[in-house]
Structures are given as C-alpha cells and as structure tokens.
Amino acid sequence: MTAEFPRAAALTSRFEILAETPSTNDVLVAAAGGSDGWPDLSVVVTDTQTAGKGRLGRSWQSPAGSALAVSVLVRADASLRIDALGWLPLAAGLAMTRAVRGALPARTDVSLKWPNDVLVGGRKVCGVLSELVVGATPSVVVGAGVNITMTEEQLPVPTATSLVLAGAEHPDPDALLEAYLREFFALLSAFRATGGDAQASGLQAAVTDACGTVGSRVSVELPGGTILAGVARGIDVSGRIVVQADGSADLTPVSAGDVTHLRPR
C-alpha cells in the first residue's frame, strides 16, 4: 500500500495499514477477541482487499489501489447499551455520506441509502457492514469500503460509481479517511453521552435528514423472500425504516431487508 494516513491515524487509538488483506473486518474481528487487547477506536485500513464482505453474505473485491477499505473497533461499555449497537452502521453511513460530500463539493446528490450504502446520483460509492464480536467486552467492528479511483470497466456492478467517476479529480485518501473518522467519532461520542439514545443525541434526526430512502418509493425484499412495496416514511428510534405499503394506511417497521429505490408512479 503506497498511501500514508498521518491525519487519519492521529485520530485513532491504534492504526494499522495493511498492504493487502482478504478483509479488514476479519482482521479486526480476530484482533478484538485476541489477547493483546486492541483498544476502543482501533482502525485497520488497506487499499487492496481481496475478499471483502457485503450484506446478506455477498462477497466482493476491487482492483488493487482503486478503493479504500477501513474497519473501526467500537467497544461496548456502560455508555453504550447492547440494544443500541444497531445504530452504529447507520452512524458510520452518515459519517461517510458527509465525508463523500466533502470530497465532492460540486455534487448535491450524495445521500445515505438505508441501511448502509452511500450513493452519488443514485449510484453506490460506499457500503458499510458491521459485525458483533461477543466476548468479555462485547464489541462491534464497523467496516466501510469506498470506491476511490475505479473506472467504469472496473466497477463491480453498473449501479456503482467511484469518487473519480463522480467528479473528484485528485481524491486524497487520507483526507477522506480523516473526514470519515472525525465524523464517525463525533457521532459516536454524542451517542454515548446520552447512553445510546438516538433521539436525544440527534443521531436519529441526522440520519433521517441524510437518508434519501426516506420519502422514496421502495421495494423491500424481507427475510424469507416476501416483497414489501410502498413509500418509506421515516426511521424509528430503533433505526428501522418505516414503510407505508401501497394501498394501506398502516406503517410497517423493517429492521432487515434488501431495499430498492423505485421511480415515483
């Protein structure tokens, strides 16, 4: 790995740069339960991830040096209840949305897609995946992968994009990572200060404001294969997207599912 990260590293308690790894999440999950006691807010980063993990068991990889993969270790403590940990990937998604906006100041179409994608012009530039580590001190490893310099030919799917394709001429990985970590750690600090209360900390409102899913027509593939189609009306205090099904006045909270944004009818 050729990039250096002095500004990002200065924000963390432990910072490890890997030349290449199958998955930064796997590295940090193993470290979280290891004997050397990696501290809260430890970070692992690489620009060459060969077996990254996505939601619903999907796997992906990117050409060497074209994307940034970063994982953050968050230790649960008395200020962060177990039942509040589901907000961490949403907080990370919000933080990366803000960081990408900073890297693309001319774009007004950077948004968060519930629960954990960052979109530019409706195309995915970043995904977030969190994993719970059970142990004496429960922890969450929050991973994010953001496409930096990928060309159209290198994109994993046609609905993806990269910072360069979205208009960033010379993206600075250290500046992007610093912005992401600074935003994420600030959101986490406020969240912890309220005992993991998303409403009191302002996290629920901030995520809702940045979330392009809210107000959109969506199709949600629920666990088991059932399809829920309707309009996303908001995000509740548990971090669930609330959908008003077509032809119904009822609101259905969804905690897990594959969401597709649909064109308005």
Per domain, the residue ranges of the chain are 6-209, 213-262
In angstroms, the CA 248 to CA 143 distance is 37
The stretch 185-189 carries a mean pLDDT of 98
pLDDT of 183: 98
Q: What pLDDT band is residue 50 in, cutting at 50, 70 and 90?
A: confident
pLDDT of 59: 55
Name the CATH topology of 213-262. Answer: SH3 type barrels. (2.30.30)
Site of tokens 């600030």: 186
In angstroms, the CA 53 to CA 61 distance is 9
pLDDT of 54: 53
Q: What is the pLDDT of residues 111-153, one digit of tens each?
A: 999 988 999 999 999 999 999 998 777 899 999 999 999 999 9
Q: What pLDDT band is residue 37 in, cutting at 50, 70 and 90?
A: confident
Half-sphere exposure of 260 (CA within 13 A, CB side): 10
Instruction: With residue 24 as reference, give the H or E element that holds it.
Output: helix 24-32
- Name the least confident of 78-87, 95-104, 115-124: 78-87
Estimate to the nearest angstrom the gap between the alpha carbon of 19 and the chain centroid. 22
Q: What pLDDT band is residue 56 in, cutting at 50, 70 and 90?
A: very low
Q: Supply the CATH classification number for the domain 6-209.
A: 3.30.930.10
* pTM recorded for the entire structure: 0.93
Distances (CA, A) of 166 to 51, 79, 100: 25, 39, 10
Q: What is the pLDDT of residues 4-32, one digit of tens each?
A: 899 999 999 999 999 999 999 999 999 98
Q: Tokens standing for 83?
A: 């039942």
User: Do residues 95 and 187 touch, judged by C-beta distance below 8 A?
Assistant: yes
